[in-house]
Amino acid sequence: MTDEWSTFGVDLHLDLTAGRVGGEGVRAALERSLREAIRDGRLTTGALLPATRVLASELGLSRGTVSAAYDQLVAEGYLIARHGSGTRVAEIARPEPRATRGTPRPPRHDLRPGTPDVGSFPVAAWLSASRRALGSAPPAAFAYGDSRGRPELRAALADYLGRARGVDASPGRIVVTAGYVQALTLLAHALREGAFALEDPGLPFHREVLRFNGRDVRPLRVDAEGADPASLPADVAAAVVTPAHQYPTGVTLHPERRRALVAWARATDAVVVEDDYDGEFRYDRQPVGALQGTAPDSVVYIGTASKTLAPGVRLAWMVLPGRLVEPVMRAKRLTDFQSEALGQLTLAEFITSHAYDRHVRASRGRYRRRRDLLLSELEGYSLEGVAAGQHVLLGLPPGAPPEAQLLRRASARGLAFGLLGEHWHEPSAAPRTGLVIGYGTPRDGAFPSAVAELSALLGDEAGG
C-alpha cells in the first residue's frame, strides 16, 4: 500500500508502507503512523479524528482494521473515545520541538534598540483598511504588475511624504520594496561602480548586506554634528546617512553638513542615500525635513513601515532621482519582480484615510513618555542624542567596566540592551564605548520594570 492522505477537514499524511518490510501488518502500520503523528505534533491535543467508516473509506481499509487501531491507541493513552463526541487526541508529553532546542530565551527586560512596540500595532484599523482596499481593488491588482509597486500606494506615498517629510516625490520615481534591506540591495546592483560609505558608528548588518552584494564599504566618520563629508574617500559611489536621527549616536545632521553632502554628490556624480531612520519621531520640536527635498537629483530617499508600524509589514519605499528609476526597476525585476500587492493596497488605504497619521501621532506620544521616564530614572548619567526616535546612547565614563562585562551581568538579571562598541567599523579599535538603550520594544506595562532593572544594574556597577 502506498502513502495515503486522510482528508477529514485537514490533510494528514499517514505512511502505511515504511517499516513493513519485516512483515508489519496493515493495522500495525496504521497504529504506528497515527502514533507518530501524535508524538510529533501533527495531530495536536484535542484534534478530532474521522469516524472509522470515513477513514477506512479514504485509506481503502476495512472498518474493522481502523476500529482495532483506534482501540489500541485508546488503550495506550494516545486517544480518547467518548460516546457522542467521537475520538480525539489525548494530552501527552511531547519532546521539545527541534527548532527551539538550545535557542536562547527572550530577556525578561528587553531594552534592545531597533524594534518598535509591535504590541501596539493598530490591528483593528489595519483590518478595516484591508477590507476597504480589497473590496474595491481592481482584478489587475491580483496579477503581475509594475515592478515599482502598486500605483495606489505610490500615489499615497507621494502625497504623504511631501506633506509630512518635505520629500520631493512623484509616483513615477517611487519604488516599493520588501523592507530597507532590499532597498539597499537594489542600490548595490543599480549604482555605478565604487564603494559605499556608511556611518561610523552605524548598524553592522547594513555593512554585511552591501558586502554580500559585492560592494566595498568605507567608514564615514560621525561626530556631534553627524556624518562628516570631509571624511569621504575618493572612490565612493554612495554615502548612506541617517540625517534625522543618527543610529546609534542619536545626533542630527548639521545644516552645513547637509549642504556639504549634496555639494559632494553633485561634484563627484555620486549619490547620497538618505535612510530616514526615526524621521517621524521628534519630541522637542517639529521633525527635521528630509534632506532629499533640497536635492532630489542627488539624494535617494528610503523610508520604511518597520518603525512606524511593525517590521512584519515588510514594506519600504525609495524615492529616486529620475536617472536611477530604470536601473533600480531592472534590479527589482531580476530579484523578486514585484513586492506583494495586498499589503500595498492596505497601506495605501491606511495612509489616504489618515489612519497612518493618527497611529504615528499616538506612537510619538507613547515613545516620548517612555524616553522621559528613562531620562528621569537615569538622571546623572551621560545620555546622548536629541529628543527623538526609539533609542538613546548612554556613554560610559572612564574606568567603567568593559561593555561585554556589563552585558554579561545584565544578562544574569534578564536584561538586554545594545553595545556601542559593536557598531564601529573596527570594533577592536573602538574610540569609545557606551550602551545603546532602546525604548520601543517593551509593552507599556513592562517598560517601567525594565528601566528600574537597568537603573539598578548601573547603580550596582557605580557602587562596586
d(CA 180, CA 14): 43
d(CA 86, CA 83): 6
pLDDT of 2 reads 45
pLDDT of 463 reads 56
Cβ neighbours for 18, distance < 8 A, ≥ 6 positions apart: none
pLDDT of 291 reads 96
pLDDT of 136 reads 95
* pLDDT per residue rounded down to tens, the chain (464 residues): 444 545 555 567 777 775 554 557 889 889 998 998 888 888 888 888 888 898 888 888 999 999 999 999 999 999 999 887 789 999 887 665 555 555 567 889 999 998 899 999 999 999 999 999 999 999 999 999 999 999 999 999 999 999 999 999 999 999 999 999 999 999 999 998 999 999 999 999 999 999 999 999 999 999 999 999 999 988 899 999 999 999 999 999 999 999 999 999 999 999 999 999 888 999 998 888 999 999 999 999 999 999 999 999 999 999 999 999 999 999 999 999 999 999 999 999 999 999 999 999 999 999 999 999 999 998 888 889 999 999 999 988 777 788 888 888 999 999 999 999 999 999 888 888 899 999 998 887 889 999 999 999 988 776 55
pLDDT of 21 reads 46
d(CA 85, CA 67): 16
List the domains of the chain with CATH numbers. Answer: 4-89 (1.10.10.10), 109-117+363-463 (3.90.1150.10), 121-357 (3.40.640.10)
d(CA 419, CA 395): 10
C-alpha cell at 69: 487501531
pLDDT of 85 reads 78
The DSSP secondary-structure symbol of 282 reads B
C-alpha cell at 316: 519600504
Closest CA to 440 of 208, 190, 111: 111
pLDDT of 429 reads 83
C-alpha cell at 95: 519532546
